[in-house]
Amino acid sequence: MEKASQTISTGLLLFLFVLTVPLSGCATHATGTHEPAPIAAQPEALVPQAEDNAFELEAEFDETFTEPIIDPLSGYNRVMTQVNDKVYFWALKPVSQGYRAVVPEGGRLAAGHFFRNLLMPVRFVNNLLQLKLKQAGTELTSFVINSTVGVLGFGDPAADYFGLQAYPEDFGQTLGHYGVGSGFHIVLPLLGPSNLRDTLGLFPDYYLDPINHLDHSEAAQAVHAFQTVNHTSLHLGEYESLKGDAIDLYTFLRDGYEQRREQQIKE
């Protein structure tokens, strides 16, 4: 029975890896803004760029949303929302549950810290581009502390002992900071809700993600897949709770995503 369970988990992981391959070459879970969030709730995954705020949609509905949502692709977007939802429940969630059963929470948290620390260049450069010099300096200082005292970023002494917080920024936010509108809404395969501006912003962030500079693209894809599984294992149940509050899942995710991004750009 144990061997059969291992075989099933391995098969699901391979399936998830195959699904991840086509997109991991052109998109990043940056933001360290971003560790990846559950597929259907992303793009911090409700944003491909966002990291720890992937499940703050309900809180964001209290904010005033001023920019009208342009949605000419609503038919496609609804279908892709359902596809991402199925992939989450049929592949990502089972694999993440198996991974959580094997790896202790402390190890998974340490891996999450490592990936967040590794994505410092995305946050640092985008804070710098927005002339947020204090935040950029904090990101650089945190990186030095966590990479040394925190042993390659597996620990987070910058936050635990020095109170230094992260300032997640991505290129989509940078464009928004300088007045670039969101454009039309689009749901990306595996990554979830996004818009034209944020989708274009994925490309500069891609080159700032150290993982994408590994010698072999297959290795980078495998690391991104592991990053997604590790992050999801720490947030199991959150997407389900979010989905349970939605009358119309697509419009709920769409409106929440656009509202949250507008608020992030204002900050």
**Token digits of residue 22:** 């086509």
Q: What pLDDT digit, counting tens, does each position of 113-143 carry?
A: 999 999 999 999 999 999 999 999 999 999 9
The pLDDT value given to residue 67? 66
Residue 92: which of 32, 29, 36, 31 has the closest Cα?
36
The pLDDT value given to residue 131? 97
Residues with pLDDT less than 50, the chain: 1-63
Q: Output the CA torsion sign for 61, 67, 70, 76.
A: negative
Contact present, 208 and 30 (Cβ < 8 Å): yes
Q: In whole angstroms, what is the distance from residue 71 CA to residue 77 CA? A: 9
Q: In whole angstroms, what is the distance from residue 73 CA to residue 76 CA? A: 5
Instruction: State CA 37 to chain mean position distance.
Output: 5
C-alpha Rg value of the chain to the nearest Å: 18
Q: In whole angstroms, what is the distance from residue 212 CA to residue 218 CA? A: 10
The pLDDT value given to residue 27? 39
Q: Which amino acid is located at 88 in the chain?
A: Y
The pLDDT value given to residue 215? 87
Q: In whole angstroms, what is the distance from residue 61 CA to residue 173 CA? A: 19
The pLDDT value given to residue 53? 43
Q: What pLDDT digit, counting tens, does each position of 21-61 carry?
A: 333 334 333 444 433 333 433 434 333 333 444 444 444 44
The pLDDT value given to residue 216? 86
Neighbours of 183 (CB within 10 A): 15
Residue 36: which of 239, 178, 200 has the closest Cα?
239
The pLDDT value given to residue 217? 87
The pLDDT value given to residue 245? 87
Contact present, 33 and 51 (Cβ < 8 Å): yes
